[in-house]
Structure 1
Amino acid sequence: MNNWNERKDKWERRKRKDEERQEEERKRWKKMIEDLKREQEEEIKRRKTEEKERKEREEGAREEMKQKHEEEIKVMMKKHEDEARKQAEELNDFRERKEQHVQEYKQMLEERQKQNEMLEKLYNHLKEEKEKEIREQKNKKEKERQELLQEIEKLKNKKAVLLCDHF
């Protein structure tokens, strides 16, 4: 009877130690999982912040480039408009004095109008190119964002598989 009680006590001590070890192991795994989740959330937050900052910088650069381009076009258009206006005034002055100069200035005016049309076409062409470039950049960034999301999903799946394999 005494021997049986000793074995029972020994068995209960082993059982308690096993349960304590299992509890410690569960706590350790739980902490590891929580740490991994926290790290993953911090990484996602950091990436989102970086992505937002990058997009803001790119948008600012695009906007600055667009404004600069528009300002250059405005300056060019104003310059050519002023030039055309001046030439038209000169044309009227010379018309009164000499008929010969009328024909020469008409020809110059036509050339300026062609230049203005060419500039207008150039402006529209450059504007379309810039809009296309902006769309391409947006598409590229969206593709990169999707790739990052896929990488995140893969990492999540890997971690989930690793965690499942560990249990």
Structure 2
Amino acid sequence: MNLKNGRDVEQLVAGIYLNDMCLDRGNALVEEMGKKRKDIKTAFTYLILAWMEVLSKMEYYDARNEDAVQLAKKIYDRPVPYPELVLAKNGLDQETERSLNTDSPRDVANALASYLRADAEERYGTFLNALMMEHRTLQQNFTRMGMCWLKEDCRNRKDLSWICELPVYLPFI
């Protein structure tokens, strides 16, 4: 898998790992991402907020992702400051290829962390564009996982702590 390719990583995260009708795998991924360094956690928060902004501008949606779009619009009813992306430069950001177990939250989190380091300068545009073109149900799954992350991470961010208070109901479809 090419860890610099946003489309590949989006397919891994949303199209394969979170695409499960029996299990909510988002919590396990959030738990693994919570074990990462602070700069990776900040980059993950940035990615989720960027996705929510894309969703908030979505004009065409249906019942499969309507709740996610409405939640994103509620979040972006006010200015949302993005955290500053400052990724530490070390040997890890050189990794571009990896074989992995797509059922393992640790492997998926490690691949996602590598991507977040590799594509920070591009602000994850390829990942976001691929997710925007994804099946609406998978968008809902990614948004559910993303809100699980934001509710935890934003408690420690004074300018985003209000997100923790939002009621979130994103049904499995």
TM-score normalised over the length of structure 1: 0.20
Q: Which has the higher helix share?
A: 1
- By relative contact order (CA 8 Å, sep 6+), the higher-ranking structure is 2
- Normalising by structure 2, report the TM-score: 0.19
Query: Who wins on radius of gyration, i.e. which is larger?
Result: 1
